[in-house]
A and B are shown apart, each in its own frame.
Chain A
Amino acid sequence: MEKRLSDLKPGEKGVISRVTGEKVTRRRLLDMGLTRGTEIVVVRKAPLGDPIEFLLKGYNLSLRKSECENIYVLLEGEEKE
């Protein structure tokens, strides 16, 4: 099942299925490597759940919760071709 990246818990891993949102934000997320098919792991969340730290493509990235709401992932083992 497709989930929002912001709904994943620390330690959970997903594969990005799509990135939505406003053109500028979306473009920026894509530029930073959040492209379809990329594996992404939630490392930890700040006390109020915002921002969230991720591990992808061998580097750590912190995103605001609002930005992660535009990113959809498939949980491991569920990704389809």
Chain B
Amino acid sequence: MIEVALIGNPNVGKSLLFNVLTGGKAHVGNWPGKTVEKKEGICRYKGEEMRIVDLPGTYSLTAHSIDELIARDYIVKEKPDVVIDIVDASNLERNLYLTLQLLELEANVVIALNKYDIAKSLGYKIDVDELSRILGVRVIPTVATTKEGIDKLLEAVLEAAKEKKRRRVSIGYGKAAEKLISRIERTILKDKDLSSRYPTRWLAIKILEGDEEILKEVEKSRFRNEILEVIR
């Protein structure tokens, strides 16, 4: 079974895409210990079974709201095989912020460039191949309302799930921040447990940001003083 998570900004057509993929048959429950709805369904394509998990719609992946924390924890802790990032093609700039955060989290991302018809009618010309090259992930134009591009999307998900090695794209933050990031990263690597559970660069960035959940996690480490020294 291939585990697939769906994520995207609010109002990108995520629920519709979920229904298209699962045929509308969803198992609805709550996220453990939270009163936030969790939807799961099964998608079969070319003899493969995929479990589709619908993550809450978010603009970002900080620790400030429960929705964002659920989405982030799922990706970090459950490590789904593929994360379908649904991007509103008519609103690329704002949507790609979440995409960059997913890449920073080292998730195995496939982008569904949804509402592609609307983007076209607005006169937007998106160079899909170039976008894919820059981000280092597969980008598939889709229109969830007419099911356009869904087969191609599933094809891309299967390909991505089978891939062992991925090209990693990282976003530079300028000399001063990079220096701190690599300093923190080096100390994180001393803690084998911590560095096996989280992508180390991401962890270092979150520490630098002062992310409360992550700081709590680091406090448990034997090397906490060394790791946190940089930000004190």
The residues of A with any CB-CB pair to B shorter than 8 Å are 24, 27-28, 31-33, 57-59
Contact = CB atoms under 8 A, between A and B. Distances in A.
Contacts, number: 24
Interface of B: 59-60, 62, 64, 90-91, 93-94, 97
Contact of A27 (B64, B90, B97): B64
A81 B90 CA distance: 29
A31 B91 contact: no
B62 A59 contact: no
A55 to B, nearest CB: 12
Given A31-B59, A32-B59, A24 B94 contact: no
B91 A58 contact: yes
Contacts of B97: 31, 33
A33 to B, nearest CB: 4
Contacts of A24: 64
Label chain A's interface by main secondary structure. mixed
Contact of B90 (A31, A33, A58): A58
Given A27-B62, A33-B94, A58-B94, 7 more contacts: A24-B64, A27-B64, A31-B60, A31-B97, A32-B94, A57-B93, A58-B93
A72 B91 CA distance: 24
B206 to A, nearest CB: 13
A35 to B, nearest CB: 9
A28 B67 CA distance: 13
Contacts of A59: 91, 94
Contacts of A57: 91, 93-94
